[in-house]
Amino acid sequence: MRELSYLEAVREALWQEMQRDERVFIIGEDVGVYGGAFGVTLGMVEEFGEERVIDTPISEYGIAGAITGAALVGMRPVGEIMFMDFTTFAMEQLVNQAAKMRFMFGGKIEVPFVLRTPAGSGTGAAAQHSQSLESWFVHVPGLKVVMPSAPHDAKGLLLSSIRDDNPAIFVEHKLLYKTKGPVPEEMYTIPLGTAEVKRQGRDLTIVATSIMVKRSLEAAEQLAQEGIEVEVVDPRTLKPLDEETITRSVIKTGRVLIVHEACKTGGYGGELAAVIAGSEAFDYLDAPIVRLAGRDMPIPYNRNLEYHTVPQVENIVEAARQLVQGRV
């Protein structure tokens, strides 16, 4: 199959859906001729025009209002917030307005938008351009939270998110943009709320999100050479969560390591751990549930310090080894 980068897969989903559905449009800072800060929308304004690829002032709250309001009257907007850190400016509109309207108004209205935003560290952008804030959004009833780890998933999940009648926060990882993988040319959707077993294994389940899926798969390769067979499960959407695929895997392996980039305290790993511990998988656990996550600290600038702030392949290998060898 043809290969695309993660970035190209996101762009292709946007491109094809805008060709298919005239209600879909893109709005954000520098998404036009500049192509977005990371180049995701490069070339799209030339194809679809300034009316459907809309550059905005530096107004994140306004972007959130624009997609909320336009969605209320029948459009299917895709907003872009240049860095996830800047969703802080947009929180009121997302949390109090967009997320609440359908329920608060007795089901009489829908808010079908997607807000795309790049997250994560590893680019040397330091504390205000490197955060992974997904668990904030997971905590808000009324927002779906999508976090693809591979090009194939990025395309299929983005198409599902745009076609969904409810607001979705679509979290992309900057370091994944250049990673390549097979992506069908035709349009396809991946239902929100379906996890995927990315690698089969018998000794240990790793539940990982976003770039940590990629690192966990690399770790699994190394561990396989030691005879440790790791199963890697990617929830793909944090909300709704496919609990069944995760617990089924844990029942099979009896051990679970949860890996994410966001700070450990209050992070999504705590939720995953609670879901597993509260499920029938509890009886099958041979070891404590272990979380490997970002340190509880701001992302530092220095290259080496930054590297050691969030889980890397070697950290995953070591944590998995300890779990399997009963050293936890």
Partner 1 sequence: MTLSKAKKRELLRQMYTIRAFEEKAEQLYAVAKVHGTMHLSIGMEASAVGSIAALRSDDLILSTHRGHGHCIAKGADLNLMMAEFMGKENGYCRGRGGSMHIADVAGGNLGANGVVGGGIATAMGVGLGLKMQKRDQIILCFFGDGAANLGTFNESLNMAAIWTLPVVYVCENNQYAMSFSVKKAFAIERISDRAAGYGMPGVTIDGNDVLAVYEAVSQAVKRARAGKGPSLIENVTYRWRGHSKSDANRYRTREEIEAWKQKCPIQRFRARLIEEGVLTEVEADRIEQEAYAAIDAAVAFAEASPEPALETIEEGVYA
Q: Which residues pair with 294 in a beta bridge?
A: 263
Task: Give the binding-site size for partner 1 (rule: CB under 8 A).
Answer: 42
Under 8 Å between Cβ of 233 and 205: yes
**C-alpha span between 181 and 12 (Å, rounded):** 14
Q: Would residue 129 show up in a list of annotated catalytic residues for this protein?
A: yes
Residue 144: other Cβ atoms inside 10 A: 22
- Site for partner 1 (CB under 8 A): which residue of 3, 19, 20, 105? 105
| Exposure b/e, 241-258, CB count within 10 A at least 16 = b | bbbebbbbbbbbbbbbbb
What part of residues 123-182 is at the interface with partner 1 (CB under 8 A)? 141-145, 166
Sequence-ordered list of residues with C-beta below 8 angstroms from that of 105, at least 6 positions apart, any chain: none
Considering only residues 246 through 305, tell me which ones interact with partner 1, judged by CB under 8 A. Answer: none
64: contact with partner 1 by CB under 8 A = yes
* Sign of the four-CA dihedral 252, 256, 257, 260: positive
Stretch that binds partner 1, among 7-15, 96-104, 173-181, 217-225 (CB under 8 A): 96-104
Minimal CA–CA distance to 79: which of 153, 169, 214?
Answer: 169
53-55/196-199 β-pairing: unpaired
Member of 21, 47, 92, 244 binding partner 1 (CB under 8 A): 92
Binding of residue 101 to partner 1 (CB under 8 A) = yes
- Of the candidates 129, 152, 173, 260, the residue annotated as catalytic is 129
Q: Which is nearer to partner 1, 107 or 227 (CB)?
A: 107
Kindly indicate which of the ranges 3-11, 71-79, 227-235, 290-298 contains the residues binding partner 1, using the contact rule CB under 8 A: 71-79
* Residues near partner 1, by CB under 8 A: 25, 51-52, 56-57, 59, 61-62, 64-75, 77, 92-93, 96-97, 101-109, 141-145, 166, 239-240
Catalytic residues: 129
